[in-house]
A and B are shown apart, each in its own frame.
Chain A
Amino acid sequence: MPSYAHPEVLVSTDWVAEHLTDPQVRIVESDEDRALYVQGHIPGAVEIDWQTDLQDSVERDYIDREAFERLCAEKGIANDTTVVFYGDKSNWWACYAFWVFKLYGHENCKIMNGGRKRWELDGRPWSTERVSYPATSYSAQERDKSVRALRDEVLKHQKAGKQLLDVRSPEEYRGERTHMPDYPNEGAVRGGHIPGALNVPWPQNCQEDGTFKEARDLEKLYIKELKMKRRSPTIAYCRIGERSSLTWFVLKYLLGFGNVRNYDGSWLEWGNCVGVPIVKGVEPGGSVAAKTAPAAAPAAVPAAPEVPAPVAQPPAEPPSLGFGTAPETPPAEG
């Protein structure tokens, strides 16, 4: 039976329960809804919020290196600390925080498999205590460009016909809507997907209890069915980069893809860009098809027939909440 490529990045709730007071370990909760942490967290866990802690409040980017160093120092995280992330939503936001830590080169990062849901199902205790640790001194590295794809890189990647993965819902992929079912419009003016992108909605990585699927099931999906290649450069994207950080984690650490990056600008950027290619419908489309097709044929693209009328989206609708419950066909969390 196949096993995960890097099983050491996943720890169980048992492991976490045994390391609650381990000074080498810092448990970090990252949630869609911040009040969940306040309502009850794993004893000794600190919170790092994707929006108010990890994102810059002025520029549309992550906090800079100095701010990241300050954040780690405040949370009692040293360079050699093993940081274990967990959270709601099958660890969406935990993977997102994990990804940002990798962006700044933190070495020992792990995910608690199953997140809040598994901890709850195991009947383990929640704590409401205020947690603080003595400040550390932390020195971050320059951003690691190997985990992040920026727009122009995605454009080049797309034009070269390399592996692209769209992890949004099928409705978003087909271009019928620009945001998750039941989620508000985040403000993308165009719907569809990046030409050539395959669609694997993120829930397909997870099981009912919030844990990741077994290695053989993930292999079956990505390698056998979709014929993706571990050695080919791959970029994953979603709407704001959070769901795709979970898929990034799965591809890189569980399946052992050698070169996979998260396009955190994702659809919120691409769907608003002037002059970038977009495909609607169920077919990936893309430049590979375009190259091989006769010049006059406009690639096997917009499979319009079975696509229902687009959902009307007033352009000025408020952006997303960033909290709440699972989207369509969720494997975990109601």
Chain B
Amino acid sequence: MESVAARIDEVVEEFADLDSREKLEMLVEYAAGLEPLSPAYEARKAAAEGRIHECQTPVFLWTEADGDGRAHLVADVAPEAPTVKGFVALLAAAVVGRPVAEAAEIPDDLVERLGLGQVLGMLRARGLQAITARIRRGFAEAA
């Protein structure tokens, strides 16, 4: 199974060939693929657990390690925020099943490497950077 770094490199390469519109389409596609929360996580969400407060979209994130120390990013993002939802889904796909220590090493300049700064503008891009940082930290703590 590919490392997180290798998976990220692939996504970066894929994004490199896309124009702005296609990048947004790709995020919408990722967003549609984000798995809905299981009932257990729905309950935790209802208890207002996992809420990312620096994020203006209601985003719920759990950076989990299974019994074998494999990373799972569980997330719920409001449908009216497909950019955030797509970005989180992309990260979830990049880390799933890999050791948490690897997941903690998602590049912190990923937003720029995906070319999203230009597509979204600086303010929105900073929001995604904050989410990246939060996920890195979460997995680092889980490691």
Contact = CB atoms under 8 A, between A and B. Distances in A.
B56 A323 contact: yes
A39 B28 contact: yes
B24 A35 contact: yes
B27 interface: yes
Given A35-B31, A130-B21, A183-B56, A318 B126 contact: yes
27 contacts: A33-B80, A33-B83, A35-B82, A35-B83, A37-B24, A38-B28, A49-B121, A51-B122, A51-B123, A52-B118, A52-B120, A182-B53, A182-B56, A184-B54, A184-B55, A186-B123, A318-B129, A318-B130, A320-B127, A321-B123, A321-B124, A321-B126, A323-B81, A323-B120, A323-B124, A334-B58, A334-B80
Interface residues of B, number: 32
Contacts of B83: 33-35, 323
Chain A interface residue bracket vs B? 20 to 34
Given A35-B31, A183-B56, A320 B82 contact: no
A182 to B, nearest CB: 6
Given A324-B56, A324-B127, A334-B58, 18 more contacts: A34-B124, A38-B28, A51-B122, A51-B123, A52-B120, A182-B58, A184-B56, A184-B130, A319-B123, A319-B126, A320-B123, A320-B126, A323-B57, A323-B84, A324-B55, A324-B57, A324-B58, A325-B57
Contacts of B81: 32-33, 323-325
Given A33-B81, A35-B27, A38-B21, A52 B127 contact: no
A322 B124 contact: yes
Contacts, number: 113
Given A33-B84, A35-B83, A321 B55 contact: yes
A322 B119 CA distance: 13
The B interface is mostly helix, strand or loop, or mixed, namely helix
Contacts of A185: 54
Interface string A213-232: 00000000000000000000
